Every structure is written in structure tokens, then in C-alpha cells.
């Protein structure tokens, strides 16, 4: 890519869109309906409630240790995760802080509390769950099955394609795949939304790193993925909903 194009790409990183932003012209100010905070489950999808967990699942709960020891891990054992561990990990990354809180604040911050993300899980090995693509419902703290894979090898092939050949993603117990529905943030912040969404996604993955460290698991942020293959894996259109970030997780 030539220098002019690179500099044009950098404009995404500037805060200049805040200079032109006028809240009164936003979709929210004009009275457009508030987008749903969570994609609904289809009526024929079974709600798989996630179990309660408490701090007895933590191998380490010392925040100093967790921050100091957090590092990217690309090698995992074949061990399955338990449902309680998965329950903890999805809560730590996108769960509600307090179900009775009407503002539905989550365990991660988000510009304007807009939380434009959905969490898909490509599950290879979780006790009690068949391999497949699942989606997390933060408001119910539950999963729904989006697509079952009778052939686990086929799922791993698709995960590998999505991660541009990074095999450790395909072999992990679970692949986290976060999509964004940009309009949830654009509804209020218009042209500022895209950068804000990218900023928001970093918090999710950092919480996954710290939560993984606390339960003897490892993860690796995946920014180098194939947009088309990742969007196809979780059956989203790549426009109104698109994959923004991925991360495998497994025992180390």
C-alpha cells in the first residue's frame, strides 16, 4: 500500500469526527427506534441456561498476579472446558454486571453503554455441549445453538479458514467470535461509531485474557482473520453485522 493510502487509513484513528458531530442530527435525537440490545433467539431455538459459578473455580484471584502473568498463549491441551468455566468466561467478557440494573451495564465498558457486540462461540470441547456454533444471550445468561456440526472436523476446517490458517484457533476448546452490529452505536454517535466500536472490542478481549488466566486457560487475540470466512462461519451478512475480533481459549 502506498504512503498516501496509508495516511488516508490513519484518518480513522483521529478524533476529527467529533468536531463535525452534531447530536441533534443523530438517529436517536431524530426519534428513530432504539436498536435492540441483544439479537433475539428464534422461537424454535432452545435456551441453554448457563450454570452459576462462584470464586471456587478460580485458580488465582489476585489481580496483581493476573495482570502480571497475562500473556498470549497459542498452545492448549485437549482438555474440555466445564460449563461453569464457560459460564464465567462469557460473563467476564459480555455479561451483565447486575441483572436488575435497568441500564444493563456489563462487565466491560462501552462508549455510551451502547455495546454493539454479539458473542458467538465455536465449540469444539465443552462438557455437555455438542460441537457447533452457539451464541451467548447476556440478558438471559444463556446460550443458543446456531448451527450444530455432526462432523467436528468440518467445524475445525471452517475455524481454520476464518482464522486465515492459524491452526491453534481451530484446535482450541472454544473459539470466541465477536461480531458488531454497528447501528447500535451509530444510532447515537453517527460517524464517531466506527472508531468507538474498535475501541470497545479491545476491552472484551482483555477481559478474556484476564479471566482465562484466573482459571488456568490461555487465549490469543486474533486480529488477522478472513472477514468473509469469519462472517460465513457465524452466518452474518458482513454489513449490518460483521465479525470484529476473535480469540481461542483452552487449558494450558
Ligand X SMILES: Cc1cc2nc3c(=O)[nH]c(=O)nc-3n(C[C@H](O)[C@H](O)[C@H](O)COP(=O)(O)O)c2cc1C
Contacts of 206 (CB under 8 A, 6+ apart): none
Rounded to the nearest 5 degrees, what angle is found at the Cα of 145, between the Cα atoms of 143 and 72? 65
Report the C-alpha gap between 237 and 223 in whole angstroms.
Answer: 19
Nearer to ligand X, 80 or 163 (CB): 163
Nearer to ligand X, 129 or 221 (CB): 221
Nearer to ligand X, 26 or 94 (CB): 94
Cβ 234 to ligand X, closest distance in Å?
A: 17
Cβ 81 to ligand X, closest distance in Å?
A: 21
Nearer to ligand X, 51 or 202 (CB): 202
Cβ 12 to ligand X, closest distance in Å?
A: 14
Cβ 122 to ligand X, closest distance in Å?
A: 16
Cβ 202 to ligand X, closest distance in Å?
A: 7
Residue nearest to ligand X (CB): 223
Nearer to ligand X, 166 or 207 (CB): 166
Report the C-alpha gap between 132 and 89 in whole angstroms.
Answer: 18
Binding site for ligand X (CB under 6 A): 71-72, 74, 166, 220-224
Hey, how many other C-beta atoms are within 10 angstroms of the C-beta on 152? 14
Q: Which of 245, 241, 81, 80 is closest to 162 using CA atoms?
A: 245
Q: For 86-116, b where at least 16 C-beta lie within 10 A, e where not — what string?
A: bbbbbbbbbbbeeeeeeeeebbbebbbebbb
Nearer to ligand X, 74 or 203 (CB): 74
Cβ 178 to ligand X, closest distance in Å?
A: 12
Q: List strand residue ranges (DSSP E) for 68-212, in order.
A: 117-123, 132-137, 142-148, 174-180
3-state secondary structure of 7: helix
Amino acid at each position: 500500500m502506498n504512503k498516501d493510502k496509508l495516511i488516508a487509513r490513519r484518518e480513522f484513528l483521529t478524533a476529527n469526527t467529533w468536531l463535525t458531530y452534531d447530536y441533534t442530527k443523530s438517529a436517536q435525537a431524530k426519534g428513530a427506534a432504539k436498536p435492540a440490545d441483544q439479537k433475539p433467539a428464534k422461537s424454535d431455538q432452545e435456551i441453554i441456561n448457563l450454570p452459576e459459578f462462584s470464586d471456587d473455580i478460580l485458580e488465582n484471584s489476585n489481580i496483581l498476579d493476573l495482570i502480571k502473568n497475562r500473556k498470549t498463549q497459542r498452545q492448549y491441551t485437549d482438555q474440555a472446558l466445564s460449563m461453569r468455566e464457560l459460564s464465567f468466561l462469557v460473563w467476564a467478557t459480555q455479561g451483565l454486571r447486575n441483572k436488575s440494573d435497568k441500564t444493563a451495564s456489563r462487565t466491560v465498558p462501552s462508549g455510551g453503554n451502547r455495546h454493539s457486540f454479539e458473542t458467538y462461540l465455536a465449540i469444539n470441547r465443552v462438557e455437555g455441549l455438542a460441537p457447533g456454533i452457539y451464541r451467548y444471550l447476556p440478558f438471559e445468561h444463556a446460550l443458543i445453538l446456531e448451527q450444530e456440526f455432526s462432523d467436528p472436523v468440518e467445524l475445525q476446517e471452517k475455524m481454520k479458514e476464518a482464522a486465515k490458517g492459524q491452526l491453534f484457533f481451530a484446535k482450541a476448546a472454544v473459539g470466541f467470535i465477536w461480531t458488531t452490529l454497528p447501528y447500535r452505536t451509530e444510532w447515537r454517535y453517527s460517524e464517531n461509531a466506527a472508531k468507538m466500536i474498535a475501541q470497545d472490542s479491545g476491552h472484551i478481549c482483555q477481559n478474556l485474557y484476564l479471566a482465562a488466566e484466573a482459571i488456568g486457560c490461555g487465549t490469543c487475540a486474533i486480529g488477522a482473520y478472513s472477514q468473509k470466512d469469519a462472517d460465513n462461519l457465524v452466518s452474518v451478512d458482513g454489513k449490518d453485522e460483521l465479525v470484529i475480533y476473535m480469540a481461542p481459549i483452552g487449558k494450558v
